Structure 1
Amino acid sequence: MVDLIWRWTPLEEIEGKVTRGEAWGAQTGSKDAVRTLNTLQTNASYLEQVKRQRGDPQMQLEAMELYLARSGLQVEDLDRLNIIHITGTKGKGSTCAFTERILRNYGLKTGFFSSPHLVQVRERIRINGQPISPELFTKHFWHLYHRLEETKDSNSCVSMPTYFRFLTLMAFHIFLQEKVDLAVVEVGIGGAYDCTNIVRKPVACGVSSLGIDHTNLLGDTMEKIAWQKGGIFKRGVPAFTVLQPDGPLAVLRERAEQTSCPLYLCPPLEALEEGGPPLTLGLEGDHQRSNAALALQLAHCWLQQKDRQGVGEVKASRPSLVWQLPLAPVFQPTPHMRHGLRDTEWLGRTQVLRRGPLTWYLDGAHTSSSVQACVRWFRQALNRHKEPRSGTEVRVLLFNATGDRDAAALLKLLQPCQFDYAVFCPNLIEVSSMDNADQQNFTVTLDQVLLRCLEHQQHWNRLDEEQACPEPGGPVSLLLAPRPAHSHSTSSLVFSCISQALQWISQGRDPVFHPRSPPRSLFAHPVAGSGANVLREAAAIHVLVTGSLHLVGGVLKLLEPSLSQ
């Protein structure tokens, strides 16, 4: 193992560098709108603000309602959107994507609000599955921005909503003006005090799998987190959840009873497949079956509530014995539902890109349970797509973690994949992101993010040493059989940005990724140089990108240039 600290250029040179974005000066159109949006604070500073306000979190919802009124809408106006409101720790975005695609297959005009974005902020607001156009984004951004400026209270110290609140307001305005038949709305963080929870009369609510995340905001146990998630339940509005651990499931049941919300437990996907062909999912990974089961129930419920035809024949409905929750109906999925599940796309989640000798595995897993699911998917994908090749096969991990995530715990879960190289970099596309407005983050410095990456490298190296020298008589891992050709320890590197990490990993062998010429010092270190030789000669290179959706988004921006258009 090589304990390598890799930075190709000193920080003082980075901070003094003049970028193309600075040289271009002020931008117009959608880029200008995005830059102005960024001044309303990014997610990291929003979290800090929420933490400071936790003494009276109800004030957050009251403030959001005030912003809504200042924007020209009342809470009752949102009832016209026929909303499906979805929360959870793992898979809520995928559940939203499945649900939206199913209902779009019925010829319905859909709105879809999600977070975070991967490449462009416009992805967060979709009409019929497509991100809104730059023109529509620009039009509605400035209309809302100026409206809020005109109605601000001179006595108030806060005249504009924060980044996520602003986008939530903007989504509501766009969906109403575009006259969507329904809107699928993903909760940002938690549920009870999330700004999307000003919705009073959704058509249905869903809770995907629960886990530990955002503990500084939601609590440090799954029961506390379940209490927050159950805050989206509304009186008389059907709600659905997948199977959860006993404690959190009991909390969800109590929350539902307190609000007179009928809560149902989703039967597994296998129950809906009985008597028919198996369901094909557009998203890979066994864990997506739980998300698909929840999406089917939400779509089925919405169609029933709106008296739509072709909702699927109910096959059975039996009481559940799990915390006395009734089981949601078992029905025969319709062709529209089947095709919707099959055609669902959700970038950056169990996504595979095959490019010549390189195969990129992209998954934004960032909690312990989601990383475990990612590892299972990655191993299965390696076995499923294994092709007979003569020559060396190399496995590379590209990782970053942000916020309050326990990076050491996540990295330990990734160890059984037996990577040949572990690469760490910040969620920065280039050393300066001034010309990438959608990726800008004003809340952290380059020093901070690079130090975090160096900590990740140190965690990995310690874990690698422990794996190489197990304690006598200690347990033996049975997760993967040893690979004699790769029995050496992992080499680790830290790069200053995503672009440089991809340049080193791809070695010019990705037919789509064509970066500018790398600096001469990029391969100057002996390990970087020797690794470059290995990668250039490898018959197959398997790269897992995980730990952060923002990292995955930066990688996608470089590997799929069409997403930036």
Structure 2
Amino acid sequence: MILHFIAVAKFCSSFFKFSMIYVHCDCIFSVILPCHHAGNTLGEIASHKAGIFKPQIPAFTASQCTEAMDVLQEKADELKVPLKVVAPLDHNKLKGLTLSLSGDHQLTNASLAISLCKCWLQRTGNWNKQFQDNDWEANLPEAFLRGLSTARLSGRAQIVCDSSSKSCASSDLAENSSGDLIFYLDGAHSPESMEACAKWFCSATKTENVSPAILSPSAYDVERERKVWVNGYNHQEWGSIEEFNKISKKILLFNCMEVRDPQILLPQLLSSCASSGSYFSKAIFVPSMSTYNKVTSSTSVIPSRTSYRSLSWQFSLQRLWEKIVHGIELDSLLDKSNKVNGTDTLPPHKFLYEDASHCRPSDGRFACSTVFPSLPLTIKWLRECVRENPSLRVQVLVTGSLHLVGDVLKLLKR
């Protein structure tokens, strides 16, 4: 819910070139999803969110399920709030432009932003001054189109090409994400957002593999492109140019807060990717660097930071992942492997190169996943892997937690 609001706010601020706008006369809602902070049912959550309603002040909402919509409408009627349900933005209104924030759900956020800004401009007497001759129903104002196509939201459907790789050295390459080590970052942490994240990741990686934007058509022979998808591998041959003869591998870098349910999140991610024909060859579970503490009163004591951090949660995520992949419990094998290797021992680089078909649960060799003791070590290890094998293109999906995504961006200096 909060992230939907932030996306709408990003669109709004881009319309007016402000870092942020504060609207006192209107309020908005996006799609109401289960949220452990606001209630146990959609009705309870909707009631919590409806607390923002102000008497006789317009409000906008995306389409809701019946349970949530009934609660919102009841509260709106009570306060005489004009509540309007906003449909997703029609692609045709973009005049050939593309929303800068990826994902089909952003069409709803864009529509909410448009409705909010128009209402705000009208109520402040600026709509006719700014867009007097504009046919609102047929054409969006130029400022709105500019905002929709340029808004940025870090950590949501964001692609970063690691600049430490020689193929990613230039800023142009980084923008077009066609290097050896590419991070796809999305702070999805609910089943619904995880599904949206998976669809975006699959679309982004397939688009990149089919047509690298940084290359002119003369740089390679499109007709000779050949791809073989096996267990997270995508082998490409771009004509006879060695640089573009890459083996692409999809890696999952995952962590989630313990209040989340990975037994829902991970299967949702895997099934959504599989439905698009994409598969992870390896999964890496790692603790976030960021910490959080629940403060219940002014006398709450915030514990001091410690260098030691238990990896028990990450190992539980790994066990769940291996169970999903192999369909059997591997607790004893993983526990034995972890005791042998220890938490300070990093896997050899060949772990990354082997595909899922080489996983042999019977002897614990080349498991489909691993646990790293820290995020900096993970990034360092990935960089070493791609440097060691220049024919490798590693596509890393970072998801499950905004803390994790933020920490990765910090390490990548973004």
Q: Same fold by TM (over 0.5)?
A: yes
2:285 counterpart residue number = 424
What displacement does 1:381 show? 0.6
CA shift in 2, pair 1:367/1:429, >3 Å: closer
Q: Distance in 2 between matches of 1:538 and 1:343?
A: 34
What displacement does 1:332 show? 2.8
Q: Which runs of 4+ in 1 moved over 4 A?
A: 311-316, 441-449, 485-490
What displacement does 1:341 show? 1.0
CA contact (8 A) 1:311 1:334 kept: yes
1:225 to 45, 67, 87: 45
CA contact (8 A) 1:313 1:331 kept: no
1:211-290 pair list within 5 angstroms: 211-213=33-35, 215=36, 217-270=37-90, 273-274=92-93, 277-290=95-108
1:550 counterpart residue number = 403
CA contact (8 A) 2:87 2:108 kept: no
CA shift in 2, pair 1:226/1:455, >3 Å: same
Q: Distance in 1 between matches of 2:102 and 2:109?
A: 11
1:5-404 pair list within 5 angstroms: 88=1, 91-104=4-17, 110=18, 128=19, 182-183=21-22, 202-213=24-35, 215=36, 217-270=37-90, 273-274=92-93, 277-308=95-126, 309-311=129-131, 330=137, 332-354=139-161, 355=168, 356-387=179-210, 388=236, 389-404=244-259
1:413 counterpart residue number = 268
- Unmatched 5+ residue regions in structure 2? 162-167, 169-178, 211-235, 237-243, 292-301, 331-354, 360-366
Amino acid at match of 1:345: R
Q: Name the SS of the counterpart of 1:428 in structure 2.
A: coil
CA shift in 2, pair 1:351/1:244, >3 Å: same
Amino acid at match of 1:369: E
CA contact (8 A) 2:322 2:369 kept: yes
Q: Distance in 2 between matches of 1:384 and 1:260?
A: 48
CA contact (8 A) 2:14 2:147 kept: yes
What displacement does 1:98 show? 0.8
CA shift in 2, pair 1:292/1:258, >3 Å: same
Q: Name the SS of the counterpart of 2:152 in structure 1.
A: coil
Q: Distance in 1 between matches of 2:307 and 2:262?
A: 19
CA contact (8 A) 1:89 1:210 kept: no
Amino acid at match of 1:98: F
What's the TM-score once normalised by structure 1's chain length?
Answer: 0.52
Identity of aligned residues (%): 32
Higher relative contact order (CA closer than 8 Å, sequence separation 6+): 1
Name the Cα RMSD after superposition: 2.9
2:324 to 444, 459, 463: 463
Q: Distance in 2 between matches of 1:444 and 1:331?
A: 56
CA shift in 2, pair 1:455/1:486, >3 Å: closer
Q: Does 1:500 align with 2:319?
A: no
Q: Distance in 2 between matches of 1:264 and 1:334?
A: 21
What displacement does 1:544 show? 0.2
Amino acid at match of 1:203: C
Amino acid at match of 2:26: A
Once structures 1 and 2 are overlaid, which stretch shifts more, 239-248 or 362-371? Answer: 239-248
Q: Give CA-to-partner distance per residue, 1:181-217, whole Å, 9 cap, x none.
A: x426xxxxxxxxxxxxxxxxx211111122112x2x3
Once structures 1 and 2 are overlaid, which stretch shifts more, 241-250 or 367-376? Answer: 241-250
Q: Distance in 2 between matches of 1:234 and 1:429?
A: 36
What's the TM-score once normalised by structure 2's chain length?
Answer: 0.70
- Unmatched 5+ residue regions in structure 1? 1-87, 105-109, 111-127, 130-181, 185-201, 317-329, 431-440, 470-484, 511-532
Q: Distance in 2 between matches of 1:372 and 1:227?
A: 26
Q: Name the SS of the counterpart of 1:237 in structure 2.
A: coil
1:540 counterpart residue number = 393
What displacement does 1:103 show? 2.5
1:454 counterpart residue number = 315
What displacement does 1:383 show? 1.5
Q: Distance in 1 between matches of 2:380 and 2:47?
A: 45
Q: Name the SS of the counterpart of 1:229 in structure 2.
A: helix
Amino acid at match of 1:212: P
Q: Name the SS of the counterpart of 1:183 in structure 2.
A: coil
Count of equivalent residues: 318
Q: Name the SS of the counterpart of 1:240 in structure 2.
A: strand
Q: Give CA-to-partner distance per residue, 1:277-330, whole Å, 9 cap, x none.
A: 1442111222211111111111111111111123577868xxxxxxxxxxxxx5
Q: Distance in 2 between matches of 1:312 and 1:451?
A: 62
Q: Name the SS of the counterpart of 1:281 in structure 2.
A: coil
What displacement does 1:450 show? 2.0
CA contact (8 A) 1:203 1:237 kept: yes
Q: Name the SS of the counterpart of 1:544 in structure 2.
A: strand
CA shift in 2, pair 1:546/1:391, >3 Å: same
Amino acid at match of 1:211: L
Q: Distance in 1 between matches of 2:397 and 2:143?
A: 33
Amino acid at match of 1:277: K
What displacement does 1:268 show? 2.1
1:434-453 pair list within 5 angstroms: 442=303, 450-453=311-314
CA contact (8 A) 2:134 2:141 kept: no
1:60 counterpart residue number = none
Q: Distance in 2 between matches of 1:211 and 1:312?
A: 38
